[in-house]
């Protein structure tokens, strides 16, 4: 069985400015489809997820990704800004972008109150009305705010990126770990919410092997594999970023999932969530 990676990044700072890359000696260079870690050929299809470039380049980035040589690219999640009063204009600008399947703003470093605001929920509803999915990259302490937003946009498909960036180094038994567990339980209670088993190398760093699969299994238990998908988060969580080849991340997730669960994680759930017109593997 080959894998559909629901969360991959490519970028070229020479084409599109990325302020967050400045000063990062490891990642501040082009990462293109030809460089992608395919886990020895296991991964052969991808969803591109926006890379937090300058917001005004949202359509430019989507068009650039669609234009480069990337066999196996199935969908594009483009950048949007929320609660700015112009979501309709932003979505109008993106609506005919090739391979567009969803959108994502930058949320993880912002206040929780912004995510739980009525303006944010209104934008989230508009995204759903356009038939687009929504990727939510938030940290564990923002989960309750995301729940509030998702409750107020029940017809919008929402996927939690990177398990909600849990407090990996503290572990599941500490106060923060318990808060993360409660947060994803509340989110999983909403039928429009999904989760990406992704990004753990970036959160765990050198402790990845010690915690690999632990938080994934909790997420699988509360969401179920029908609402969970694998994401590689290359290159940020890959060897180039945090030193973990995607094959190792795949093995860790595979070790805590059954054969039936793995079939969902490896592509079926992502295909349905992003409404891809692809055949079963």
**pLDDT higher than threshold 60 for residue 278:** no
The total number of structural domains that make up the chain = 1
pLDDT at residue 1, rounded to an integer: 84
Question: Could you tell me which residues come within 8 angstroms of residue 236 by beta carbon, excluding any fewer than 6 positions away?
Answer: 9, 27, 199, 202, 242
| Chain position carrying tokens 């990727």 | 135
Residue 211 domain flag? yes
pLDDT at residue 256, rounded to an integer: 97
Provide the residue range defining the domain that includes 81.
3-273
Cα 274 to Cα 75, 246, 260, 271, distances in angstroms? 8, 22, 20, 6
Radius of gyration of the chain (CA): 17
Question: Could you tell me which residues come within 8 angstroms of residue 269 by beta carbon, excluding any fewer than 6 positions away?
Answer: 194, 225, 226, 227, 228, 229
220 burial (CB, 10 Å; 0-12 / 13-18 / 19+) is buried
pLDDT at residue 280, rounded to an integer: 38
Least confident stretch, 133-147, 170-184, 200-214 = 200-214
Residue 27 domain flag? yes
How far, in Å, CA of 37 to CA of 50, rounded? Answer: 18
User: For 182-209, what is the mean pLDDT?
Assistant: 95
Residue 264 domain flag? yes
How far, in Å, CA of 213 to CA of 269, rounded? Answer: 19
Q: What is the mean pLDDT of the chain?
A: 96
The CATH number of the domain holding residue 239 is 3.20.20.140
Contact 58, 79 (CB under 8 A): yes
Percent of the chain's residues with pLDDT above 90: 94
User: 113-139 burial string, b = 16+ CB within 10 Å, else e?
Assistant: ebbbbeebbbbbbbbbebebbbbbbbb
Residue 279 domain flag? no
pTM over 0.75: yes
Helix (H), strand (E), coil (C) string for 22-88: CCCCCCCCCECHHHCCCCCCCEEEEEEECCCCCHHHHHHHHHHHHHCCCCCEEEEEEECCCCCCCHH
Residue 248 domain flag? yes
User: For 201-214, what is the mean pLDDT?
Assistant: 90
CA 52 to chain centre: 12
For residue 78, which phi and psi values (nearest 5 degrees)?
-95, 165
How far, in Å, CA of 280 to CA of 3, rounded? Answer: 11
User: For 103-121, what is the mean pLDDT?
Assistant: 97
**pLDDT higher than threshold 80 for residue 168:** yes
């Amino acid at each position: 069985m080959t894998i559909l990676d629901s969360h991959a990044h490519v970028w070229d700072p020479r084409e599109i400015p990325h302020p967050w890359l400045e000063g990062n000696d490891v990642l501040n260079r082009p990462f293109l489809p030809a460089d992608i870690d395919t886990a020895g050929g296991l991964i052969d299809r991808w969803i591109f997820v926006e890379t937090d470039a300058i917001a005004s380049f949202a359509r430019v980035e989507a068009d650039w990704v669609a234009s480069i040589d990337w066999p196996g690219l199935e969908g594009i999640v483009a950048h949007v800004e929320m609660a700015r009063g112009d979501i309709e204009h932003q979505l109008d600008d993106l609506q005919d972008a090739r391979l567009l399947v969803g959108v994502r703003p930058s949320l993880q470093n912002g206040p929780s109150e912004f995510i739980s605001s009525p303006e944010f929920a209104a934008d989230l509803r508009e995204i759903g009305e356009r038939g687009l999915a929504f990727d939510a990259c938030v940290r564990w302490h923002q989960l309750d705010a995301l729940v509030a937003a998702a409750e107020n946009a029940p017809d919008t498909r929402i996927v939690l990126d990177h398990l909600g960036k849990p407090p990996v180094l503290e572990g599941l038994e500490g106060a923060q770990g318990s808060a993360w567990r409660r947060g994803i339980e509340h989110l999983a209670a909403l039928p429009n919410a999904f989760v990406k088993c992704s990004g753990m190398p970036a959160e765990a760093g050198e402790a990845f092997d010690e915690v690999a699969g632990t938080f994934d299994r909790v997420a699988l238990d509360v969401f179920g594999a029908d609402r969970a998908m694998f994401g590689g988060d290359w290159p940020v969580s890959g060897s180039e970023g945090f030193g973990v080849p995607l094959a190792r991340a795949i093995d860790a997730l595979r070790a805590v999932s059954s054969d039936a669960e793995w079939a969902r994680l490896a592509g079926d759930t992502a295909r349905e969530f992003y409404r891809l017109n692809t055949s079963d593997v």
